[in-house]
Amino acid sequence: MPYLQAPAATSMSINWISETDEPGTISLSGPGLGKSGKQSSAPQYLDLMEYTRAELDQQIEGLEQGSWLKSNSNYKHSVTFQGLLPGKSYNYTVTQSGETHSAAFKTAPKGGAWKNVRIIAFSDSETEPRGRTEHREWELSPVNGYTADSIQRPGAGSKWDQQFGMTTRNGEPTLRYPLDQSTAFNENLKHIEAADPDLVMMAGDLTQGSGYQPAWDELFGHVAGEHSDLASSVPLLPALGNWETYAALNGGYGTETDLDPGSHFPPAGFGIPVGKDRATRL
Ligand SMILES: [Fe+2]
Task: Read off the CATH number of the domain in which 126 is found.
Answer: 2.60.40.380
**Domain span holding position 114:** 3-134+180-281
Q: How far is the CA of 98 from the centre of ligand 1 (A)?
A: 39
Taking only the tens place, the pLDDT of each residue in 136-187 is: 999 888 788 888 999 999 999 999 999 999 999 888 899 999 999 999 999 9
* Residue 70 in domain: yes
* Residue 74 in domain: yes
Taking only the tens place, the pLDDT of each residue in 234-279 is: 999 999 999 998 888 887 776 566 555 554 444 444 444 333 333 3
* Residue 163 in domain: no
How many domains does the chain fold into? 1
* Residue 146 in domain: no
* Residue 174 in domain: no
* Residue 169 in domain: no
* Residue 227 in domain: yes
* Residue 156 in domain: no
Q: How far is the CA of 124 from the centre of ligand 1 (A)?
A: 5
Distance CA(56)–CA(171), nearest Å, equals: 33
What kind and span of H or E run contains 26?
strand 25-29
Q: How far is the CA of 99 from the centre of ligand 1 (A)?
A: 36
CA distances from 10 to 13, 64, 94, 102, 162 (A): 11, 46, 20, 20, 55
Q: How far is the CA of 106 from the centre of ligand 1 (A)?
A: 30
